[in-house]
């Protein structure tokens, strides 16, 4: 049915208004870019950090508070993430190494923090991400450190025993796993491909729905999607982005056993992050072998009412039964109180290393 002449005129008028608004938006974005360039010059002249995620979170909070709709806040966040990413490229072009390949959850976390404008450099292992930043191939690296279902990523923690890099930022993402195949039909699935962590995180669903289907462990969810795309009888447990990249259809969505399945990623860098007022500090330490050593280390935190948010132990790999503790707590190392506590803790340690102070981002974000 064709619109009436009056209706067509009204539609045309609305579209002209949109075109005019778009021109204004482009002009305003370019004005913003000009200010960004001036800020970049100012920062470079004084050696100030370009990426300030704490400041960006403050901006996003103000924008969401000021938004009266109907444009949804989540969409505004996505748009501003891209604006921030483009701004970073104007101030200082960024290369970010991540635990790849493309379309893994770490890649998606990379895009969440730095946007799509940053040059994302995939690396085949967590070790290679650290090495890329250490060799100045990338200004930042991003790796997984912890999952709410499967616990810590030991490879990441172990790297801090030998790497000079510091934790610069963190992001927590809600992770959804999908069963994907070429046909999109469960009856066609004869073999499953995925990384060991998604397999573990979906174990109950797999046991209930496809108990007889063999599972083949591969290096990443992106590799699983690639295998499924080449195998008419295959399916992958992978992300939506991996499915789109390889032309797969959803057999079942959100098959993770826990709806609160979240993964914490950290950004590593040579650079220290300035205090934001809401920060986390991470340290690692090895205790002296004597009765009450761990108690003595934790006592200064209690006396200063400093909240410990995480404590994890790992074998030191130096000698049998020797352990290293990883601790996260509220506050920035530049705070005199935190500085004093770290000094007191150090006296009871055979080794203590500050891994970094960075903006606290504990609120899980939808991927």
Is 270-359 in the same CATH topology as 7-89? no
Tokens encoding 89:
């490229």
Look at the block and give the residue holding tokens 């190392």: 333
Determine the pLDDT at residue 339: 95
Name the residue with tokens 């995180």. 201
pLDDT at position 128 is 96
User: Does pTM surpass 0.85?
Assistant: no
Tens place of pLDDT for every residue, the chain, 367 residues?
Answer: 555 667 678 888 889 999 999 999 999 999 998 898 888 888 777 777 666 666 777 888 888 889 988 988 888 887 887 888 788 777 777 899 999 888 888 998 998 888 777 889 999 999 999 999 999 999 999 999 988 767 778 889 889 988 999 999 999 988 889 999 999 999 999 999 999 889 998 999 999 999 999 999 998 888 999 999 999 999 999 988 889 889 999 999 999 998 787 889 999 999 888 888 889 999 999 887 777 778 888 999 999 999 999 998 887 666 655 778 999 999 999 999 999 999 999 988 888 999 999 988 866 555 4
* Residue 320, pLDDT score: 57
Please report the pLDDT score of residue 168 as a whole number.
93
- The domain segmentation of the chain, as residue ranges, is 7-89, 178-252, 270-359
Nearest to 96 by CA among 79, 117, 75, 76: 117
The CATH class of 270-359 is: alpha beta
What pLDDT score does 2 carry?
57
Q: Which CATH class is domain 178-252?
A: alpha beta
Rounded to whole angstroms, the maximal C-alpha distance in the chain is: 89
- Cα–chain-centroid distance for residue 49? 19
CA dihedral 69, 74, 75, 79 (to 10 degrees): 120
- Match 């200082």 to its residue by tokens: 92
HSE, CB side, 13 Å, CA atoms: give it for residue 120: 24
Please check whether the domain covering 7-89 is classified as CATH 1.20.59.10.
yes
Is the Cα dihedral 219, 221, 224, 230 positive or negative? negative
Cα separation, 21 vs 6, in Å, equals 23
3-class DSSP assignment, residue 1: coil
Phi, psi (deg, nearest 5) at residue 206: -65, -40
CA 147 to chain centre: 12
Among 356, 362, 14, residue whose Cα is nearest residue 167: 356
Q: How many CA atoms lie within 13 A of 88 on its CB side?
A: 26
């Amino acid at each position: 049915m064709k619109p009436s002449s009056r209706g067509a005129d009204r539609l045309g008028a609305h579209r002209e208004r949109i075109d005019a608004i778009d021109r204004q938006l482009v002009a305003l974005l370019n004005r913003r870019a000009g200010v960004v360039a001036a800020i970049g010059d100012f920062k470079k002249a004084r050696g100030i950090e370009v990426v300030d995620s704490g400041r960006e979170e403050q901006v996003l909070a103000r924008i969401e508070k000021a938004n009266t709709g109907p444009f949804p806040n989540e969409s505004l966040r996505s748009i501003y993430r891209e604006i921030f990413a483009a701004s970073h490229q104007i101030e200082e072009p960024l290369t970010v190494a991540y635990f790849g390949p493309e379309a893994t959850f770490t890649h998606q976390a990379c895009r969440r923090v730095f946007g799509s404008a940053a040059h994302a450099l995939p690396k085949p292992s967590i070790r290679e991400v650290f090495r890329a930043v250490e060799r100045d191939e990338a200004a930042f690296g991003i790796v997984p450190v912890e999952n709410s279902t499967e616990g810590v990523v030991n490879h990441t923690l172990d790297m801090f025993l030998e790497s000079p890099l510091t934790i610069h930022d963190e992001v927590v993402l809600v992770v959804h796993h999908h069963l994907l195949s070429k046909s999109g039909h469960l009856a066609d699935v004869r073999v499953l491909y995925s990384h060991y962590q998604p397999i573990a995180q979906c174990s109950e669903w797999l046991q209930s729905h496809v108990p007889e289907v063999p599972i083949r462990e591969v290096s990443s969810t992106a590799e699983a999607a690639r295998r499924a795309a080449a195998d008419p009888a295959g399916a992958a447990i992978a992300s939506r982005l991996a499915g789109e990249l390889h032309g797969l259809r959803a057999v079942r969505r959100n098959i993770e056993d826990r709806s609160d399945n979240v993964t914490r990623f950290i950004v590593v860098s040579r650079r220290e992050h300035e205090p934001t007022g809401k920060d986390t500090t991470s340290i690692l330490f090895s205790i002296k072998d004597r009765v009450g050593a761990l108690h003595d280390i934790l006592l200064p935190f209690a006396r200063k009412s400093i909240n410990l948010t995480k404590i994890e132990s790992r074998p030191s790999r130096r000698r049998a039964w020797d352990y290293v503790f990883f601790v996260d707590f509220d506050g920035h190392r530049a705070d005199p109180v935190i500085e004093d506590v770290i000094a007191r803790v150090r006296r009871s340690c055979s080794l203590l290393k500050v891994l970094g102070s960075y903006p606290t981002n504990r609120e899980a974000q939808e991927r």
